[in-house]
Amino acid sequence: MTELELIKSTKERLLVSVDEADANVDARELVRFADGDLEKLENAITRRLLGEPLQYIIGEWDFYNCNFRVGEGVLIPRPETELLVDKALEFLGTLNGSNDDGGELANYLYNVVYGKRVRGTYVAEHETVDAKVLDLCSGSGCIAVSIAKNIVDTLPGTKVFAVEKSPVAFEYLKQNIALNRVQRYVVPFCDDVLSGCTNLLGSAKGQFDLVVSNPPYVRSAECEVLQTEVMHEPRLALDGGADGLIFYRAIAERWLSLLKPGGLLLLECGEDQAGDIKAILDATSCGEVEIFDDFAGISRVVALKMY
């Protein structure tokens, strides 16, 4: 059987439980993944028919211009999140770089988390840091890694600090930093955005140029009725509390103070949440709030530019 025949046959089988548009993509990806191994293909088709996400089956997915390893326990990168990366890179492109205390701060923050005697310094003693970025609820690292990989030609001294609570997702985060060869620019922290990171919060007031986050934002009750594929993803990465806004309140209360004057906060949100998040940020009186729509016309990113 030729590859085209295999794709056609696979698609026909997938149509039992997958719509035609997805079946087209899934069939091509599964045949490519099996690479001529019919037993491997059969197993993959069975898993897909049982509702397992395609991305988990093949173990990787493209986002922006990068490739990410994914699997059970980590949120799958989604195309609408690319808007947040676009806005982040657009903002970073306006910076002149060369933060005077950048190297010292980067080393200090790294040692606060990992311990100086264990890991040593993160940057050279007199190295210039052009931009300091913080990614909260980093998951697979798709935002942090994509920002780092696409800004280093412009601001080669950029440092991105990525915070993720889940030990499983944290392992994927570290793998994806290495896979995309941005170890020099991205440093991962395993900690809790809602209640942890006390050393980081206490040491970095007014030090970051950019804070970004795609936090859990599904309402708790809605987590019980999500589509089958999404139910395979970790609830920890989806559940945003009763109203879906618990992380946005925490970011406004705990993390805004880490931004410099003129710094930018970028938050991804669900399709009916932008107005509520704008109200949360407006109440801080810290800066000017703006909402951006994604490619489907859905209000997807809320930004706050610090005064």
What pLDDT digit, counting tens, does each position of 139-176 carry? 999 999 999 999 999 999 999 999 999 999 999 999 99
Residues 24 and 103 in one domain: no
Over the stretch 83-141, which tens digit does the pLDDT of each residue have? 999 999 999 999 976 665 555 556 656 565 555 444 444 555 556 778 999 999 999 99
Domain that includes residue 192, residue range = 79-306
Residues 24 and 169 in one domain: no
Over the stretch 61-76, which tens digit does the pLDDT of each residue have? 999 999 999 999 999 9
Residues 39 and 165 in one domain: no
Query: What is the structure's pLDDT at 113?
Result: 54
Over the stretch 287-302, which tens digit does the pLDDT of each residue have? 999 999 999 999 999 9
The number of distinct structural domains making up the chain is: 2
- Residue 219 in any domain: the answer is yes
Which pTM value belongs to this model? 0.92
Give the residue carrying structure tokens 């991804």. 268
Query: What is the structure's pLDDT at 98?
Result: 60
b (16+ CB within 10 A) / e for 21-49 = ebbeebbbbbbebbeeeeeebeebbeebe
234 token code pair: 């970790």
Residue (of 161, 217, 165) closest to 194 by Cα position:
165
At residue 249, does pLDDT exceed 50?
A: yes
Query: What is the structure's pLDDT at 130?
Result: 87
pLDDT band at 213 (very low <50, low <70, confident <90, very high): very high
Query: What is the mean pLDDT of the segment spanning 244-258?
Result: 97
Provide the CATH number for the domain around residue 297. 3.40.50.150
303 token code pair: 């930004």
At residue 246, does pLDDT exceed 70?
A: yes
Residues 46 and 134 in one domain: no
Residues 46 and 83 in one domain: no
Residues 176 and 267 in one domain: yes
Query: What is the structure's pLDDT at 214?
Result: 98
Average confidence score pLDDT of the chain: 91
- Residue 56 in any domain: the answer is no
Over the stretch 26-51, which tens digit does the pLDDT of each residue have? 999 999 999 999 999 999 999 999 99
Over the stretch 187-198, which tens digit does the pLDDT of each residue have? 999 999 999 998
- Residue 301 in any domain: the answer is yes
Residues 46 and 125 in one domain: no
At residue 216, does pLDDT exceed 60?
A: yes
